[in-house]
C-alpha cells in the first residue's frame, strides 16, 4: 500500500522533547564553563615578558651625570646600552642623566627625576654573572648644577623573583670620575635557579670594547 506523503507524522512524545532540550542546555553550559576555566590563548609568537632576576642600578634623583649598567652573562656576552639583549638578559631602561629624560603627562613635558637603569634576566641560565657600573658622561642641562662631573654614589640591588621576591644583593659604591668602571657584584646562578658565590671581585667588562 502506497504511503500518503501528505499524511501527518505521528506526534512526538513531549517527555522526549523536554529531555532533548535539557541535553542541549547541559552541553551549552559545559562549553561555557570550559572556556572560563582555560586561560586566553596568546597570539602566535606573542611571548609574555618574564623575569627570574631583576638588576637595578640607581643614583641620586635629578643627577646630571650619565651612569651605565653593564651585565655579563655565562657566555661572556654583555648587556649595555649598545647591546641591549644577550643570554636572555635585557636592558629594560637606559638612563642618560639629564639628556632625553622627560615624560609626557597630560600633554605636557615633565622632567623625570628618577635615575635608574634596569636589566632583567628572563630565564635560568646557570653560570656566573658580572654586574658593573660605569661613569659614562655628564649631560648637564643646568650648568650651575654643582654635581656635574663630580663623584656619584651608585646603589645596586639584585632581586631573585621566583618563586618569591628575594634580595640577593644590595650595595653601594662611589664612582669618582668620568670613565670610572666598578664591579659592584658577581654571582653564580645554579641549575635550580638559586644564587650563590656572591662577591665583588673586580672584573672589567669595558676592556673588551
Listing DSSP states for 134-145 in one string gives EEEEE--SSTT-
Cβ neighbours of residue 21 closer than 8 Å, sequence gap 6 or more: none
53-208: in CATH 2.60.60: yes
Question: What number is the average pLDDT over the span 108-123?
Answer: 87
Give the pLDDT band of residue 17 (cuts 50, 70, 90).
low
So where are the chain's domains? 53-208
Give the pLDDT band of residue 108 (cuts 50, 70, 90).
confident
pLDDT for the residue numbered 46:
44
Listing DSSP states for the chain in one string gives ----TTSPPPPPPHHHHHHHHHHHHHHHHHHHHHHHHSPPPPPTT-PPP--SEEEEEEE-TT--EEEEEEEE-TTS-EEBTTB-EETTEEEEE---TTTT-EEEETTEEEE---EEEEEEE-S---EEEEEEEEEEEE--SSTT-TTTTS-EEEEEEEEE-SSS-EEEEEEEEEE-STT-EEEEEEEEE-TTS-EEEEE-----SGGG-
First and final C-alpha spacing in the chain: 100
- Please state, in angstroms and rounded to a whole number, the distance separating the CA atoms of residues 54 and 161: 7
Instruction: Check if the beta carbon of residue 152 is closer than 8 Å to that of residue 133.
Output: no
- Please state, in angstroms and rounded to a whole number, the distance separating the CA atoms of residues 94 and 134: 13
* 30-39, 59-68, 103-112, 154-163: least confident range: 30-39
Tell me the backbone φ, ψ of residue 84, rounded to 5 degrees.
Answer: -80, -10
Residue with more model confidence, 10 or 203: 203
- Please state, in angstroms and rounded to a whole number, the distance separating the CA atoms of residues 96 and 181: 16
The pTM (predicted TM-score) of the whole model is 0.72
Amino acid at each position: 500500500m502506497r504511503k500518503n506523503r501528505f499524511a501527518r507524522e505521528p506526534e512526538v512524545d513531549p517527555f522526549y522533547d523536554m529531555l532533548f532540550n535539557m541535553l542541549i542546555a547541559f552541553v551549552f553550559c559545559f562549553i561555557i564553563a570550559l572556556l572560563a576555566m582555560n586561560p586566553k590563548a596568546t597570539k602566535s609568537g606573542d611571548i609574555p615578558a618574564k623575569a627570574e632576576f631583576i638588576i637595578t642600578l640607581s643614583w641620586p634623583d635629578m643627577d646630571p651625570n650619565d651612569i651605565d649598567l653593564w651585565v655579563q652573562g655565562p657566555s661572556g656576552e654583555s648587556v649595555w646600552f649598545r647591546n641591549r639583549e644577550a643570554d636572555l638578559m635585557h636592558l629594560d631602561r637606559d638612563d642618560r642623566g639629564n639628556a632625553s629624560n622627560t615624560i609626557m603627562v597630560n600633554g605636557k613635558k615633565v622632567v623625570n627625576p628618577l635615575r635608574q637603569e634596569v636589566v632583567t634576566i628572563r630565564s635560568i641560565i646557570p653560570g656566573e654573572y658580572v654586574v658593573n657600573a660605569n661613569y659614562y658622561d655628564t649631560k648637564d642641562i643646568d650648568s650651575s648644577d654643582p654635581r656635574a662631573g663630580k663623584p656619584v654614589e651608585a646603589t645596586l640591588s639584585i632581586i631573585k623573583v621566583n618563586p618569591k621576591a628575594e634580595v640577593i644583593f644590595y650595595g653601594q659604591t662611589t664612582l669618582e670620575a668620568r670613565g670610572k668602571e666598578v664591579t659592584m657584584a658577581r654571582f653564580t646562578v645554579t641549575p635550580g635557579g638559586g644564587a650563590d658565590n656572591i662577591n665583588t671581585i673586580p672584573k672589567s667588562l669595558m676592556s673588551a670594547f
